[in-house]
Structure 1
Amino acid sequence: FRRWTTISKLNVARCDFACAEVNGVIYVAGGFGPDGDSLSSVEVYDPEQNKWALIGRLRRPRWGCFGCSFEDKMYVMGGRSSFTIGNSRFIDVYDTNSGAWGEFRNGCVMVTAHAVLGEKLFCIEWKNQRSLAIFNPADNSWQKVPVPLTGSSSTRFSLGTHDGKLLLFSLEEEPGYQTLMYDPAAPTGSEWCKSTLRPSGSCLCSVTIKA
């Protein structure tokens, strides 16, 4: 439609929460409530009914987190439970078939950028902007891939996807920085190349919509 429309309101007002689409419905989890409290509640939105419904809670309150989906599951990663507890390495996993939450503890912390490409999740952590952390949900394993960049280590990046490849955009107008493209199907040693795709301004986030 190329226009914005208003949908029904959440049952629990929240911000800074995880969100992901699984099998045509939208899930939101955690976040901050109206009183600044950390939330564990989870809701699912049915676009056919234009209704939100509360479902099983997270195992712990969580805010500043992000969500993604693989197969019939929603994954909630990153964030923290309170201002006094460090960033969480727990990954909460919701199985939409059984309606139950599970967890394991080997996630990234303080993720500043993420994107799903194919059947894997790509992340950049705040403490290491020169490395990609790649999550494989098939065996819940992580792989680290160096990013071929030089210059200021404080420069932050955003991730996007295009035509089966990962795009890495600089968030600052640093001289010499160009958009990089990562091709997971390329031969070892030639996965990275430069791309002519560049945003017209600072790229805060990106999303790929398949028409």
Structure 2
Amino acid sequence: MPSPFRANKRFAESEMRCSTAKQKNVQTSPSISTKSTSQMSPDYHCPILPGLPDDVAKLCLALVPRRNFPIMGSVCKRWRSFIQSKEFTTIRKEAGRLEEWLYVLTHDTKGKGSHWEVLGGLGEEHQLLPSMPGAKKAAFGVVVLDGKLLVMAGYMADVGATCVSADVYQYDSRLNRWSILAKMNVARYDFACAEVSNMVYAVGGYGADGESLTSAEVYDPEKNEWTLIGSLRRPRWGCFACGFEGKLYIMGGRSSFTIGNSRFVDVYNPENHTWCEMKNGCVMVTAHAVLGKKLFCMEWKNQRKLAIFNPIDNSWKMIAVPLTGSSRTVFRFGVLNGKLLLFSLKEEPGYHTLLYDPDAAPGLEWKTSAIKPYGLCLCSVTIKA
């Protein structure tokens, strides 16, 4: 099987030959109609990889390790277009070549600010993402959509909450670059966001004037467009969102209609565009992650237990975290290869990342892991591509 990178020069030469042949035929045959020229065009089809049928060539490209995607995207427009397509993802999935990576926003303890880094399995070298475009922001939302990382809204960190943004940036891991998407309808920060059925939802938070919001909106990647949807029954901020079985769940945070932190769970059904609510949610959540078909949370008052939500029967169960010592240690979660990683926000000598395996035999669910970001984990997302 030929290497696609060695085929770069051959591809360029093939493109040039095809182009020259087409020009020659059109210039030397003025009597040929537009229709007949169109009929002849298949004879001058430029292959994705010279010497191979396109279906075989696509399989060759799909088998290339993910770390080489940016190089592939720089070869030519056809390769770049293909590796960005859903067909590319489908072929890799069918071939069992999808790779899972953990993208972690870390805070540099040496005062160099924050940056995104990429963690794979054991032995994988850490990778750093290019800097996010635009001004440095805080209290923004992060979502994964179609294998891409979206960073949304927030306020200007250097100015404070007096300058709130509606900007949306997208990082494409296949091309290793950022781009700008359509702005949100409402500038907001400290809001809930999640992907549901290939659409992105942003709900609540604080607005540009510091007011608590009930508004909600949805992003359609096919149209690159945000649309306002039905609002929450009450303002809500500091909350988080997740998607289960085609529905959007909003939990945690506070509401101006409740005393203290809210246990209400707002649930949005995109099919009939309606909100409903439950009354058994988590409060003061410091970390959350969806693993499989369940939600894992850790509450501020109880850093020694995991609260696990099952959306099938809306039930919760508690799992003890095998730690002793100070209960003030705060964690952030990461999900990699079907396991939950617990990153401590307190640096301690000899600390190891905790790992929870929900599929392990009873008594063997907890282990330690050598997977660890360079700095303190602020948030993380998992991307498969």
Task: Name the TM-score class by shorter chain.
Answer: over 0.9
Which whole-Å CA distance do the structure 2 matches of 1:97 and 1:84 have between them? 29
Match of 2:189 among 2, 7, 15: 15
Q: Which residue of 1 aligns with 2:205?
A: 31
State the Cα distance separating 1:83 from its structure 2 match.
9.8
Which whole-Å CA distance do the structure 2 matches of 1:157 and 1:174 have between them? 13
User: Could you say if the C-alpha distance between residues 176 and 83 of structure 1 is closer, same or farther in structure 2, counting changes exceeding 3 Å?
Assistant: farther
> With structure 2 as the length reference, what TM-score do the two structures score?
0.54
Which whole-Å CA distance do the structure 2 matches of 1:4 and 1:75 have between them? 29
Q: 1:36 is aligned with what amino acid? A: G
Match of 2:299 among 125, 142, 163: 125
Which whole-Å CA distance do the structure 2 matches of 1:177 and 1:141 have between them? 33
Instruction: Confirm or deny: 8 A CA contact 2:234 2:256 kept in the other structure.
Output: no
Q: Larger Cα Rg: Structure 1 or Structure 2?
A: 2
| Mapping for residues 168-179 of structure 1, pairs under 5 Å | 168-179=342-353
Larger fraction in strand:
1
Which whole-Å CA distance do the structure 2 matches of 1:42 and 1:121 have between them? 22
Match of 2:356 among 176, 179, 182: 182
Number of equivalences: 211
Which whole-Å CA distance do the structure 2 matches of 1:3 and 1:76 have between them? 31
Which whole-Å CA distance do the structure 1 matches of 2:192 and 2:255 have between them? 13
Which whole-Å CA distance do the structure 1 matches of 2:198 and 2:263 have between them? 28
Per-residue Cα deviation, 1:147-181 (whole angstroms, up to 9, x for no partner): 00112111111101111111111111123431111
User: Could you say if the C-alpha distance between residues 2 and 63 of structure 1 is closer, same or farther in structure 2, counting changes exceeding 3 Å?
Assistant: same
Larger fraction in helix:
2
Match of 1:136 among 310, 317, 331: 310
Q: 1:65 is aligned with what amino acid? A: C
Report 1 or 2 for greater relative contact order, CA contacts < 8 Å, sequence distance ≥ 6.
2
Q: Is residue 110 from structure 1 mapped to residue 284 from structure 2 by the alignment? A: yes
> With structure 1 as the length reference, what TM-score do the two structures score?
0.97
Unaligned runs of 5+ in 1: none
Which whole-Å CA distance do the structure 1 matches of 2:241 and 2:176 have between them? 25
Q: 1:18 is aligned with what amino acid? A: A
Which whole-Å CA distance do the structure 1 matches of 2:328 and 2:182 have between them? 40
Q: Which residue of 2 aligns with 1:210?
A: 384
Which whole-Å CA distance do the structure 2 matches of 1:154 and 1:99 have between them? 41
User: Could you say if the C-alpha distance between residues 85 and 35 of structure 1 is closer, same or farther in structure 2, counting changes exceeding 3 Å?
Assistant: farther
Unaligned runs of 5+ in 2: 1-174
